[in-house]
């Protein structure tokens, strides 16, 4: 099971420093991410959203527009300007062989549990139980928890996680991401909030004017990349299989050229709002997406 970000502030800062040195050189270890001979995410995949707790319609739209933006198809939405979310997602293609059927993502069903049927303090077992409300196969079931819902390890060691589970005779991948607006925006919504430790520069303006949900998009993006390239624990990763370094987590804190601890890198800025972003999505959306590890160059690859 993989989690996004190492959240203990002093460890996160040290990790950022280590990776900054590698990023500055534009090279990481050639054996950083090893293939473990397992399945990758392939074919037609439904992305099912399980909303746990109270989310505003505007917040749901930010997330659903992001998922829609991952596809290069524009038949149901406005064309994406470059640099785009679809171009960012296409970077994961480098993990697939030429003969592999790369994943085609589509929004599936959405489930709302506004009353928090399992309570507001969730365990890993609860997350799997909620994820099972999505599709049982050929799916990524995403559990999104509201800002007043506590999850084991949230803020203290992770901002989200991904894994897999069985439903009868089928297997599905799942992701959990929490809204950190109330609990730990300095850990899980950076750079839209000042970090608890490290360089204390002014936070960036969130592109969708929602620090918690824009932070969720960053973590969801990282976990989507990890899910595509290591959906069932035998794909591409390095280190402990229980806490692997993956395509989306190998370049922490890097969003644009010249990134270093406390500085996200060179980004685009919306003139009218001052919001920072590096990717255009459907319906005029803008997002900030993390660098992905490029296996062909052994380096962190950004959109800018």
254 close to 263: Cβ distance less than 8 angstroms = no
Number of H helices, E strands in the chain: 6, 16
pTM for the predicted model, two decimal places: 0.91
143 close to 100: Cβ distance less than 8 angstroms = no
Burial class (CB in 10 A: 0-12, 13-18, 19+), 86: buried
Element (H, E) at 188: helix 185-188
Question: What is the CB-side half-sphere exposure of residue 154 using CA atoms within 13 A?
Answer: 29
Element (H, E) at 85: helix 85-90
What is the pLDDT at residue 26? 36
Pairing of strands 121-122, 150-151: parallel
pLDDT in tens, the chain (304 residues): 888 654 444 334 334 333 343 333 334 444 489 999 999 999 999 999 999 999 999 999 999 999 999 986 644 445 679 999 999 999 999 999 988 899 999 999 999 999 999 999 999 999 999 999 999 999 999 999 999 999 999 999 999 999 999 888 889 999 999 999 999 999 999 999 999 887 788 999 999 999 999 999 999 999 999 999 999 999 999 999 989 999 999 999 999 999 998 999 999 999 999 999 999 999 999 999 999 999 999 999 999 9
282 close to 65: Cβ distance less than 8 angstroms = yes
What is the pLDDT at residue 72? 66
What is the pLDDT at residue 59? 98
- 3-state DSSP assignment of residue 63: helix
Measuring CA to CA, which residue among 141, 132, 139 is closest to residue 44? Answer: 139
DSSP 97-112: -TTS---EEEEEEEEE
What is the pLDDT at residue 254? 97
Read off the DSSP letter of residue 292.
E
164 close to 158: Cβ distance less than 8 angstroms = no
217 close to 290: Cβ distance less than 8 angstroms = no
What is the pLDDT at residue 73? 60
- 3-state DSSP assignment of residue 131: helix
């Amino acid at each position: 099971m993989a989690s996004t970000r190492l959240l203990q502030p002093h460890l996160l800062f040290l990790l950022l420093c280590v990776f900054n040195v590698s990023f500055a050189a534009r090279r990481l270890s050639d054996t950083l991410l090893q293939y473990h001979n397992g399945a990758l995410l392939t074919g037609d995949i439904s992305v099912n959203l399980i909303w746990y707790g109270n989310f505003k319609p505007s917040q749901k739209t930010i997330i659903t527009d992001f998922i829609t933006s991952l596809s290069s198809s524009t038949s149901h939405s406005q064309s994406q300007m470059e640099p785009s979310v679809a171009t960012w997602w296409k970077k994961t293609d480098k993990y697939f062989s030429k003969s592999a059927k790369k994943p085609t993502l589509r929004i599936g069903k959405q489930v709302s549990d506004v009353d928090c049927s399992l309570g507001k303090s969730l365990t890993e077992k609860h997350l799997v139980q909620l994820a099972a409300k999505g599709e049982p196969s050929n799916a990524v079931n995403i559990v999104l928890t509201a800002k007043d819902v506590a999850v084991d390890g949230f803020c203290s060691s992770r901002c989200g996680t991904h894994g897999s589970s069985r439903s009868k005779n089928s297997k599905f991948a799942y992701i959990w991401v929490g809204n950190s607006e109330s609990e730990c925006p300095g850990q899980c919504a950076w750079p839209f909030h000042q970090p608890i430790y490290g360089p204390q520069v002014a936070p960036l303006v969130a592109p969708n004017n929602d620090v918690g949900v824009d932070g969720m998009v960053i973590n969801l993006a990282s976990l989507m990349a990890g899910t595509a390239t290591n959906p069932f624990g035998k794909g591409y990763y390095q280190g402990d299989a229980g806490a692997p370094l993956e395509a989306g987590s190998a370049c922490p804190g890097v969003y644009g050229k010249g990134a270093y601890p406390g500085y996200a890198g060179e980004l685009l800025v919306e003139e009218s709002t001052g919001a920072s972003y590096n990717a255009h999505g459907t319906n005029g959306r803008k997002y900030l997406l993390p660098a992905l590890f490029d296996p062909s160059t052994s380096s962190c690859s950004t959109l800018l």
